[in-house]
């Protein structure tokens, strides 16, 4: 069995920074909360919770005067306001790329209607939209464009500023922008804010999946960027498996003569990828 591991597999720099800072905070604090999943990987969260971190769903679940980590995906604006009211100390580990998008939007929102291309219910896009004012819209599919047009016509803006969820499918972003341009006649400014690490990982996955018999995508079940890697792989490879850890491979049969490609999502620890490689080689 030949195993090829993508060079962009595993933690991106932003996730690595977030996980390191969260571990430092947990190690130095008697009690600390994390609002939502720090990153979309079960192994990372389990390790931190074993050390004492408590994952909560709402800022209301945190005690007054406590410490709370803001996850890599960021939070909605009202969360920050409520934390201040409850005298909560925040460790804001929102990815720098996402913070940069917020800043760009802040500089455009007085003049432009903001369009965020991404998953409608993803914490990143919901957080970004909360900083975008009322004249904003999350667009996920072509079917959403007519609704966007109607909302835009009712707004006071006459120009569009388009950004992207940092982990969105790059090709799909381009297709949706073309669709918008075919429908809208106003001035449109496009800022493709997909993270470089995401673009590189998607492109490598596309090429790798063309040249192997089996693709194994490693990542959390809630990870948007990992699911995109699965979609891309399926376009080129007949056998694609999305797994969270080595246990998910127990009931999967892979012939020893196969060429196997492995790509880990941005929030997948290197140790998990190594365990899968060891398992395949040992089997």
Tell me which residue of 218, 165, 210 sits closest to 191, measured CA to CA.
165
Nearest CA to 153 out of 137, 138, 141, 165 is that of 137
Q: How does residue 220 score in pLDDT terms, banded at 50, 70 and 90? A: confident
Strands 32-35 and 53-56: parallel
Query: Is pLDDT at 283 greater than 80 in this prediction?
Result: no
Minimal CA–CA distance to 137: which of 169, 115, 165?
A: 115
Q: Are the C-beta atoms of residues 190 and 131 closer than 8 Å to each other?
A: no
Task: Answer yes or no: are the C-beta atoms of 90 and 119 closer than 8 Å.
Answer: no
Categorize the per-residue pLDDT at 239 as very low, low, confident or very high, splitting at 50, 70 and 90.
very high
Q: For the CA atoms of the chain, what is the radius of gyration? A: 20
| CATH no., domain 2-10+196-282 | 3.40.1010.20
- pLDDT score of 84 more than 90: yes
- The band of 179, judged by pLDDT with boundaries at 50, 70 and 90, is very high
pLDDT at residue number 29? 82
pLDDT at 63: 94
What is the reported pLDDT for 224?
A: 84
- Does the pLDDT of residue 175 top 90, yes or no? yes
Q: Could you tell me which residue, 60 or 223, shows the higher pLDDT?
A: 60
Place 10 in a pLDDT band, splitting at 50, 70 and 90. Answer: confident
What confidence tier does 221 reach under pLDDT thresholds 50, 70, 90?
Answer: confident
In sign, the C-alpha dihedral spanning 59, 68, 85, 114 is negative
Determine the average pLDDT of the residues in 155-181.
95
Identical topology for domains 2-10+196-282 and 13-94: no
Q: What is the pLDDT of residues 28-66, one digit of tens each?
A: 887 899 999 998 888 899 999 999 999 999 999 999 999
Q: What is the mean pLDDT of residues 93-114?
A: 96
- Whether the CA torsion 90, 96, 98, 102 is positive or negative: it is positive
Map out the domains of the chain as residue ranges: 2-10+196-282, 13-94, 97-190
Q: Look up 75 and say whether it is catalytic.
A: no
The architecture in CATH of the region 97-190 reads 3-Layer(aba) Sandwich (3.40)
What three-state secondary structure class fits 207?
helix
pLDDT at site 86 = 97
Report the pLDDT value the prediction gives residue 33, as an integer from 0 to 100: 96
Cα four-point dihedral sign 113, 95, 44, 171: positive
User: Which alpha helices (H) appear in the chain, and where do they start and end?
Assistant: 13-28, 42-50, 77-85, 96-108, 123-130, 145-154, 170-183, 196-209, 224-236, 270-282
Please give the CATH topology (third level) of the domain spanning 13-94.
Rossmann fold (3.40.50)
Cβ proximity of 193 and 261 under 8 Å: no
C-alpha closest to that of 80 among 97, 92, 64 = 92
pLDDT, position 1: 87
Q: Please state the pTM of the whole predicted model.
A: 0.84
Tell me the C-alpha distance between 33 and 55, whole Å. 6
Residue bearing tokens 């999350």: 138
**For residue 223, what pLDDT is reported?**
85
Mean pLDDT, the chain, whole residue set: 94
**From the candidates 37, 42, 75, 124, which is the catalytic residue?**
124
């Amino acid at each position: 069995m030949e195993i090829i591991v993508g060079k962009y597999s595993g933690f991106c720099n932003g996730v690595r920074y977030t996980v390191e800072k969260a571990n430092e905070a947990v190690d130095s604090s008697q009690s600390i909360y994390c609002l939502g999943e720090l990153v979309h990987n079960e192994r990372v969260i389990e390790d931190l919770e074993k050390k004492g971190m408590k994952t909560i769903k709402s800022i209301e679940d945190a005690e007054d005067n406590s410490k709370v980590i803001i996850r890599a995906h960021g939070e909605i604006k009202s969360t920050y306001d409520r934390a201040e009211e409850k005298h909560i100390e925040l460790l804001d580990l929102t990815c720098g790329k996402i913070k940069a998008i917020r800043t760009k939007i802040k500089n455009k929102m007085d003049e432009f209607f903001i369009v965020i291309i991404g998953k409608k219910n993803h914490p990143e896009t919901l957080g970004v939209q909360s900083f975008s004012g009322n004249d904003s819209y999350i667009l996920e599919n072509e079917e959403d464009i007519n609704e966007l047009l109607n909302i835009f016509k009712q707004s006071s803006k006459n120009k569009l500023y388009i950004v992207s969820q940092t982990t969105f499918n790059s090709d799909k972003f381009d297709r949706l922008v073309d669709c918008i341009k075919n429908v809208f006649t106003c001035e449109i400014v496009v800022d493709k804010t997909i993270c470089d690490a995401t673009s590189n990982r998607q492109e490598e996955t596309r090429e790798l999946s063309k040249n192997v018999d089996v693709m194994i995508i490693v990542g959390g079940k809630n990870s948007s960027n990992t699911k995109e890697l699965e979609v891309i792989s399926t376009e080129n490879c007949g056998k694609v498996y999305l797994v969270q850890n080595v246990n998910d491979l127990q009931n999967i049969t892979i012939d020893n003569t196969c060429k196997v490609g492995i790509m880990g999502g941005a929030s997948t620890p290197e140790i998990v990828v190594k365990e899968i490689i060891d398992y395949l080689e040992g089997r």
